[in-house]
Amino acid sequence: MLYLCPTPIGNLEDITYRTIRVLQEVDVIAAEDTRHSGSLLKHYGITTPMLSFHEHNEAKRSVEIANRIKNGEKIAVISDAGMPGISDPGSRLIRLMIEEELPYTVLPGSNAAVVAVVASGFPVEGYCYLGFLPTKSKARDNLLNKVYEHPGPLVIYEAPHRLKNTLLGLAEVLGDRNVVLARELTKLHETYHRGSLMELAENHDPRGEYVVVVEGYIPEALDDHQLKEALNEAMGKGMSKSDAISWVCRKYDVKKNRVYSLALMEDIDG
């Protein structure tokens, strides 16, 4: 049996009784950094042996873990902080478990992205987790363009030395949206900084690990003339009148009867 066990993201008290019990009972713990995790295990008096399981050996170690589970062993996977498989090793192993039809379970627990998006104050429905953005600006911008019109908050992990450039890059592609910087979550110096992307890029001294929560896309409030232009643009791309009306309603979040009336006034041919 495989157990994916979340660990505290800062405060050592943020761990469940179930996770502690599982870590005590399994045959071995696969840890992202055995030295780092050793402190957590020592704190709770857990003496289960560990083996390394990180991004550089994930492929090879996943096969080894699967084989050991086939032989009846119970193995727990933990990352340095938070949920394994979310910006940490684990997802490849889960896919292998599914392919091999081996038993596994995921225990609930700490996750920095969830804490940050709830604390941000933005509507959380449909939030989009992006993790660490690509380091190359072209790849980063391509990704951001794909989620430009996503209505929910965008959740990003970032290191302090890259934070300013990331905020500027976000503003360049997404516009100067509202953002919340969640710093050192659950730790002694947990803080939240709120403002626009440009404002915080220029006036924030980054220290510690960050979760960046960017406000979702808010459609522009268009006047009738602009909506008519949008309808004509859609029709020019080959859409029928009905499809063009539906497309404009979705894109600009306007009521269908308003757009339909404009279409009739313009006598647009479908």
- Domain borders along the chain are 2-106, 112-214, 224-266
Number of neighbours of residue 8 by Cβ within 10 angstroms: 18
Task: Spell out the CATH class of 112-214.
Answer: alpha beta
| Segment among 109-118, 184-193, 224-233 with least mean pLDDT | 224-233
Number of neighbours of residue 94 by Cβ within 10 angstroms: 17
Q: pLDDT of 12-25, one tens digit each?
A: 999 999 999 999 99
Q: Residue 191 is inside which H or E element, if any?
A: strand 191-196
| Residues 2-106, CATH architecture | 3-Layer(aba) Sandwich (3.40)
How much is the pTM?
0.80
Per-residue pLDDT at 267 exceeds 60: no
HSE-CB at 119 with a 13 A cutoff on CA atoms is 19
Per-residue pLDDT at 269 exceeds 80: no
Q: How many Å apart are CA 9 and CA 160, to the nearest integer?
A: 17
- Residues 6 or more apart whose CB falls under 8 angstroms from that of 175 comprise none
Average pLDDT score over the chain: 93
Question: Beta partners for 29?
Answer: 50, 76
Q: How many Å apart are CA 28 and CA 51, to the nearest integer?
A: 7
Q: pLDDT of 8-54, one tens digit each?
A: 999 999 999 999 999 999 999 999 999 999 999 999 999 999 999 99
Query: Per mean pLDDT, which of 3-17, 193-207, 216-230 is the most reliable?
Result: 3-17
> In this structure, are residues 62 and 89 in contact, taking their beta carbons and an 8 Å threshold?
no
In this prediction, residue 66 has a pLDDT band, given cuts at 50, 70 and 90, of: very high
Q: End-to-end distance of the chain based on CA atoms, in angstroms?
A: 60
In this prediction, residue 208 has a pLDDT band, given cuts at 50, 70 and 90, of: confident
Over residues 124-151, the mean pLDDT reads: 95
State the pLDDT at residue 266. 66
